[in-house]
Amino acid sequence: WDSEDFQWSAALKQKMKSVFGISELRPMQLQTMNVTMSGKDCILIMPTGGGKSLCFQLPALLSKGVTLVVSPLVSLMEDQVIALENYNVDAVMLNASTDRNRVTAVQNAMTDKTATMKLLYVTPEKLAKSKRFMAKLEKMYAMGRFSRLVIDEVHCCSQWGHDFRPDYKFLGIMKRQFPEVPILGLTATATKNVIEDVKKILNIPVCTLFKASFNRPNLFYEIKQKSSEYKEAMDNIQQLIKRRFTNQSGIIYCLSRKESQDVTMDLQQRGIKTGCYHADLSGQERSRVHKLWLKDQIKVVVATTAFGMGIDKPNVRFVIHYSVSKSMENLYQESGRAGRDNQKSHCIVYYRLADIFRQSCMVFTEQTGLDNLYGIMAYCTDLTRCRRSVIAQHFGESWDRSHCKEMCDHCQNPVETEKKNVKQICQQLIEILNQASGLEERLTAIKLLDAYQGKKVGGFRVSGLNLAPVTRDVLERIIALMLIKGYLREDFHFTAYTTISYLLPGDKRSLLKCDSTTVLLECIQRQKSTKDNSKP
């Protein structure tokens, strides 16, 4: 499928340039287009931002009739349709809020030989619930105008995936109803089991599978400890931008609109040409900032995650996370905006434990929110592993750390990890929580740290424990690990902070009591083996 010698190859190249202004394809794009253009079923696994959309948008322009795109998120569909309109491509969208007249017009175009509509985006509900729409599709098919079915976020078909959508199950009938229509499934996250399940559900047992690597060899990954003093944190960033990234373009991601405004003001006062970008600003202002940055008239955009879709500046030399992202997927995608031109670029996360708890209040209503956040915490706190191998493992890619080629802070400069038995500290932290709750005092993680260090928190001070002198940094790591491993739990109170409690299923509780903190030990130190090898 690597060939450029198909009947559509010349037209493909020409449209790619003339319509999208793209001169070279990225890995797996050509192969995917060749498979789908030849009428075969295909699933493409590619990281977000990798360029999946082009793999059906370009074939849509070369094919007779209409490409039907099923996508679960209305906002993403809107973004794509607007982007396509800007390229003068006739793309439309139908969702629950499309008005009647519009629906009728679109449905008429589906079976009108003279219509120019190339891409039709719909939600899965539309397919599952509108008999009228299905009847139209049948007519379109009979006329030979149903050129391709694209299923975005195809992992949503499978209950084993992380984002199952019941309406996606309905897509199984499409292959039976429209056997001649090639299916193209797209996803960024999919394990082997999920893909096998998806193939079964969609009735496409023989389908070509492409997987683009998650590795971006030109990106240098780095974690920095963020100071709890705002001024010190900003001093650090200022120096970084002025010294290491002199006159270079970058993005700084913040947690909130307010934070992005504060950081913008601060950097401007420090003489760095900076613009701010978040969802509360007018479309006009956002577009102004984006354009100035594209033209290198401002160097840095400080933004929330709203700065994302459609950002495709090739020479972004650094992406700094002033505050951590809410998941590894988000982090990967946001930092992946660096180095699109394949030149060496830096992805730096400023980490401190308190930021995790600021985030957890925001994500705890999402079903997998906390798991995702703790994934990030693991990435930031693990001193023992190559950053790339953590990313690769997260995306289910096999990885040898020698492949990193010293392109992360760990491989370039491995830290001496502290060899310390932390079992006692874990138990003492739990004892502190017990003492506090006995006095009706609820502790946040930060207060737990303070209490361990002998400070009075609220009306409470630790008593009767022979606490070892441990640095705050080590204590933070231990608390992070206890949360990741499920020894501690965050409790939410609909306030801006969470408190910590020790509430575990009996087996874990007893494991901790019976001298089995091996898992914790492995991560904090590289000590070979302890006497006790049992794992929770």
SS3 of 33-71: HHHHHCCCCEEEECCCCCCCCHHHHHHHHHCCCEEEEEC
Asked if 473 contacts 225 with a C-beta cutoff of 8 angstroms, the reply is yes
Q: Are 523 and 419 in contact (CB under 8 A)?
A: no
Q: How far apart are the first and last CA of the chain?
A: 46
Minimum distance between the CB of residue 235 and ligand ADP, rounded to whole angstroms? 34
Q: Of the candidates 4, 280, 312, 515, which one interacts with ligand ADP according to CB under 6 A? A: 312
d(CA 272, CA 281): 21
Residue type, 188: A
Closest CB to ligand ADP among residues 26, 211: 26
Cα 490 from Cα 499, distance rounded (Å): 6
Beta-bridge mates of residue 210: 44
Return the number of the residue (86 or 413) whose C-beta is nearest ligand ADP. 86
- 336 counts as binding ligand ADP under rule CB under 6 A: no
DSSP character for 226?
A: P
Question: Toward ligand ADP, which CB reaches closer, 39 or 310?
Answer: 310
Which residue number has the CB closest to ligand ADP?
51
Q: Which residues pair with 54 in a beta bridge?
A: none
Hunting for tokens 């089995």 — which residue is that? 516
Question: Using the rule CB under 6 A, is 34 a contact of ligand ADP?
Answer: no
Minimum distance from residue 218 beta carbon to ligand ADP (Å): 15
Distance CA 377, CA 371 (A): 10
Give the chain's radius of gyration (CA, Å): 26
Q: Nearer to ligand ADP by C-beta: 34 or 53? A: 53
Smallest separation (angstroms) from ligand ADP to the CB of 116: 22
DSSP 494: S
CA 79 to CA 95: how far, in whole Å?
14
Closer CB to ligand ADP, 317 or 477, in the complex: 317
Measure the CA–CA gap between 459 and 453, rounded to whole angstroms. Answer: 15
Q: Is 310 in the site for ligand ADP (CB under 6 A)?
A: yes
Q: Taking Cα atoms as reference points, which of 53, 37, 11 lies closest to residue 208?
A: 37
The closest of 148, 141, 138, 95 to 118, measured between CA atoms, is 148
- Of 48 and 213, the one with the shorter C-beta distance to ligand ADP is 48
Nearer Cβ to ligand ADP, position 55 or 479? 55
Q: Which string of b and e fits 5-39 if b means at least 16 CB within 10 Å?
A: eeebeeebbebbeeebebeebeebbbbbbbbbbee
Minimum Å distance from CB 414 to ligand ADP? 33
Q: Report the alpha-carbon distance of residue 26 to residue 50 in Å, rounded.
A: 8
| Shortest separation between residue 465's beta carbon and ligand ADP, angstroms | 51
Q: How far is the CB of 24 from ligand ADP (least distance, A)?
A: 6
Please say which residue, 51 or 161, places its beta carbon nearer to ligand ADP.
51
Task: Tell the smallest beta-carbon distance from residue 306 to ligand ADP (Å).
Answer: 15
Q: What is the DSSP string of 196-222?
A: HHHHHHHT-SS-EEEE-----TTEEEE
Task: Quote the least distance from Cβ 20 to ligand ADP, whole Å.
Answer: 7
Looking at residues 10 to 29 of the shown chain, list those that interact with ligand ADP (rule: CB under 6 A): 22, 24-26, 29
Instruction: Count the site residues for ligand ADP by CB under 6 A.
Output: 15
By beta-carbon proximity to ligand ADP, the closer residue of 57 and 359 is 57
Residue type for 59, please? P
Q: What φ, ψ does residue 313 adopt, rounded to 5°?
A: -85, 125
User: Quick one: 25 or 223, whose CB is closer to ligand ADP?
Assistant: 25
Q: Which is nearer to ligand ADP, 103 or 306 (CB)?
A: 306
Give CA–CA dist 421/527, Å, rounded: 9
- Minimum distance from residue 90 beta carbon to ligand ADP (Å): 18
Residue 103 phi, psi dihedral angles, 5° rounding: -60, -45
Question: Minimum distance between the CB of residue 497 and ligand ADP, rounded to whole angstroms?
Answer: 34
Specify whether the CB–CB gap between 46 and 335 falls below 8 A: no
What binding mask, one character per residue, do residues 201-230 give for ligand ADP by CB under 6 A, x or -? ------------------------------
CB of 25 to ligand ADP, least distance (A): 5
Tell me, what amino acid is at 119? L
Site string for ligand ADP, 102-121 (x = CB under 6 A): --------------------
- Quote the least distance from Cβ 186 to ligand ADP, whole Å: 7
User: Smaller CB distance to ligand ADP: residue 53 or 63?
Assistant: 53
Between CA 163 and CA 161 the distance in angstroms is: 6
Q: How far is the CB of 100 from ligand ADP (least distance, A)?
A: 31
Within 39-98, the residues that bind ligand ADP by CB under 6 A are 46, 48-54
Q: Which is nearer to ligand ADP, 73 or 503 (CB)?
A: 73
Lookup result for tokens 């760990």: 410
3-state secondary structure of 345: strand
Binding site for ligand ADP (CB under 6 A): 22, 24-26, 29, 46, 48-54, 310, 312
